[in-house]
Amino acid sequence: MNAYLTYGIIFVILLALELCYFKVADHFNIIDKPNERSSHSTIVLRGGGIIFLIGIWIWSAFFGFQYPWFLVGLTLVAGISFVDDIHSLPDSVRLVAQFAAAAMAFYQLGILHWSMWWIILLALIVYVGATNVINFMDGINGITAGYSLAVLIPLALVNINGVFVEQSLIISTILASLVFCIFNFRPKGKAKCFAGDVGSIGIAFIILFLLGNVMIETTDITWLIFLLVYGVDGCLTIVHRIMLHENLGEAHRKHAYQIMANELKVGHVKVSLLYTVMQLVISLGFIYLCPDTMFAHWLYLVGVSVVLAIAYILFMKKYYRLHEEYLISLKQ
């Protein structure tokens, strides 16, 4: 079958299944109700990001079950996240599932060697931590789908001819992201659905697995620059909350993108586009402008990280007071 026809069929199937999910979510009242920490003000269907999991199953059905342990791990972590979207689960249950799923991904990648257990344990912690940082960044319309495309498109460009991983896997994930974009990449109050943890955790797991293949084949971890914008905002916000002695498990609105959308009243689509374009420019610069040497890769990574970190700190110094004023208003 012609490749374009195959991908066209996959896109139509994913679109139809997403619409079917909306019927199910509406029937079973799987919704996201706004609260004082939300960036939305209307009730929206939750869990639309299940399309990422469905997309991998559809890809497997069309192209063969080439990564069975990855598929099982993704199904486990996304399934637990979906249950958590409906009925809140203890943190311990979610973390056990995430570590078990990460171990399956490592087995699929061929790096689960217990003779170096301490390195594997550290890598698992980083994998699960990165998954949750990406999950924390899912807070406004369009940011998960848009940012995912900003990661997946450069990955597809690097992986032309399937050098590191099956190219069809990346393309199918891009198609799932586009389907989700149709219903979520909309102005505040206009989204048909939210990703839910099933979506943000699911796409994080997929992206980290794809990046893992590239890093293992090239023995170069600087490819993590494909997640740099999220990484800087997510990690520095965690550091900020630790400095404020906050419970990291509690919901909040302290990310830079949240302050833009909530306190500065910048439209959701504009903020999501900003993060998407920033990451895309950084990644394309890394691919096409940065010399292909380890020294140049590290210099580019460190240099861009410093610039983003300074920009984050300056932004917070100027505008975080608006968030403090918002918190004070909640207590009055």
Concatenate the DSSP letters of all residues of 269-308 into one string: HHHHHHHHHHHHHHHHHHHHTS-SSHHHHHHHHHHHHHHH
Tell me how many helices (H) and strands (E) the chain has.
12, 2
Is 32 annotated as contributing to ligand binding?
no
Flag whether 138 is marked binding: no
Phi, psi for residue 2 in degrees, rounded to 5: -55, 135
Using the 8-state DSSP alphabet, how is residue 216 labeled? Answer: H
Per-residue CA distances from 157 to 22, 163, 172, 280 (Å): 33, 10, 14, 12
Cβ-count burial 270-288 (b if 16+ within 10 Å, e if not): ebbbbbbebbbebbeebbe
Ordered DSSP codes for 137-190: T--STTHHHHHHHHHHHHHHHHTTTSSSS-HHHHHHHHHHHHHHHHHHSS-TT-
Paired with 309 in beta bridges are: none
Beta carbons within 10 angstroms of residue 306's beta carbon: 11
At a CB cut-off of 8 Å and minimum separation 6, what does 201 contact? 77, 78, 81, 98, 131, 132, 134, 135
Q: Which residues are annotated binding-site positions for Mg(2+)? A: 135, 197
Binding residues: 135, 197
